[in-house]
């Protein structure tokens, strides 16, 4: 009976997706970004370093907007395409994960 209750609870109240390389891959971030080297776009570590001395809340909002809408001019001439399919919550989770030193 306890197993049934645990299973039912997991199905009815799934855990939110946690930021990880899996979430980044799921949303195609790793096609252009890597943890510690430039691919098409800057590495996650370079992004974190660029914003390390700024208040985190506004930076999370800024980066999550870049993730969802896209933009250019910050890292050169290559424009980052937006990912409109990612939820605002997941974009903020990824932004925080990047700022916290995404592995």
69, 76, 77, 78, 81 from 72: Cα distances, Å:
11, 7, 7, 7, 9
Confidence of residue 12 (pLDDT cuts 50, 70, 90): low
Q: 46 pLDDT exceeds 70?
A: yes
Structural domains in the chain, CATH included, are 18-99 (1.10.760.10)
Q: Quick one: tokens of 64?
A: 């999550």
Average pLDDT over all residues of the chain: 85
Q: 45 pLDDT exceeds 90?
A: yes
Counting every residue, how long is the chain?
103
- Report d(CA 22, CA 30) in Å as an integer: 9
Average pLDDT over residues 24-45: 93
Q: 11 pLDDT exceeds 60?
A: no
- Report d(CA 100, CA 50) in Å as an integer: 12
CA atoms within 13 A on the CB side of 101: 0
Question: What beta strand segments (E) does the chain contain?
Answer: 70-71, 80-81
pTM: 0.78
């Amino acid at each position: 009976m306890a197993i049934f209750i645990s299973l039912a609870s997991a199905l009815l109240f799934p855990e939110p997706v946690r930021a990880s390389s899996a979430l980044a891959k799921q949303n195609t971030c790793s096609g252009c970004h890597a943890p510690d080297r430039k691919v098409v776009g800057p590495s996650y570590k370079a992004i974190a370093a660029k914003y390390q001395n700024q208040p985190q809340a506004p930076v999370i909002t800024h980066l999550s907007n870049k993730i969802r809408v896209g933009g250019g001019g910050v890292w050169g001439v290559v424009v980052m395409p937006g990912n409109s399919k990612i939820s605002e919550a997941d974009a903020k989770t990824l932004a925080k994960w990047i700022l916290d030193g995404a592995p």
